Structure 1
Amino acid sequence: MDDQNEIIRFLNDELRHDLTRGAAFMTPGVAALGPEVAERIFDTISLYDDFCQENDPHEEHDFGSFAVEGRTIFFKIDYFSKDMTVRSPDPSDPSVTKRIITIMLAEEY
């Protein structure tokens, strides 16, 4: 793993632990599970560490999958320019990157 990937992974881990370090969106399917389940989902994402070659081939900790209430939940982190108009030119540079985490039911992917 190179230095850039290590920085990206660190920044993604920070976002998963503190969703205010970027922006977080949940899909209608996740919202429909209710606030208590959503809170458990957020807690699970903050503690998630089941990264492997299959779900994290670039070692950026930008995708995960787990089960809650018998439903498969996915989270995905994407990198946008600060003005949210295009992809970030450098996801390892927080001064030009806005991180967005989307939390969804697997069937909404």
Structure 2
Amino acid sequence: MNWILLIIAGLFEVAFAACLGKAKEATGTESTYWYIGFLVCLVVSMLLLIKVTQVLPIGTAYAVWTGIGAVGTVLVGILVFKEPATLWRLFFITTLIASIVGLKVVSH
């Protein structure tokens, strides 16, 4: 269950980064709503991370959390914000995913 919560926490990290990107593009009240979304996602992500680190090793949990956030944010950048999907970006995202899976495999 804690691994599922950690994945959800990582997805909320992706969401708060995406909210920042959308807030930058928006103006007026819409921008304010995106910043509120950022704060909500940030709080949920941190609370879930705190919860899972009570059971999972902090080094593993934090590395997986940031890895999910990094991979997800790059994918959101490519899919939503039309950032370039170069060979090297995709290569290194793939190696990051392999590292996250590896941490899960070797953690007890």
TM range (shorter): under 0.3
- Which structure shows the higher strand fraction? 1
CA radius of gyration, larger in: 2
TM-score when scaled to structure 1? 0.25
- Which structure shows the higher helix fraction? 2
TM-score when scaled to structure 2? 0.26
